[in-house]
Amino acid sequence: MVEVVTAEDLVDWDAEPRFLTDGLGCLFKRPEPRATFTLMVRAMLADVAKKNSWGLAEYAGLATPQQFEHLLNGAKWSADELRDQIRGCVLAGLSDPGGALVLDDTQAIMKGTKSVGVAPQHCGATGQTENCQCMVMLSHASVHGHAFLDRELYLPACWADDPQRCQAAGTGRPGVDVVVVGRRLRLRTRPRAPRAITSAAKTNSAWTPTRSATRPRPGATAVHAAAGRGGRSPA
pLDDT in tens, 60-99: 999 999 999 999 888 888 888 888 888 888 888 888 888 8
- What pLDDT was estimated at residue 173? 45
**Cβ distance 83 to 197 under 8 Å?**
no
- What amino acid occupies position 53? S
- What pLDDT was estimated at residue 183? 40
Separation CA 52–CA 44 (nearest Å) = 9
**DSSP states of 130-148 as a string?**
EEEEEEEEEEEEETTEEEE
Residues of the chain predicted below pLDDT 70: 1-19, 170-235
The β-bridge partners of 154 are: 134
pTM comes to 0.63
**Cβ distance 209 to 195 under 8 Å?**
no
Separation CA 44–CA 55 (nearest Å) = 10
- What pLDDT was estimated at residue 19? 66
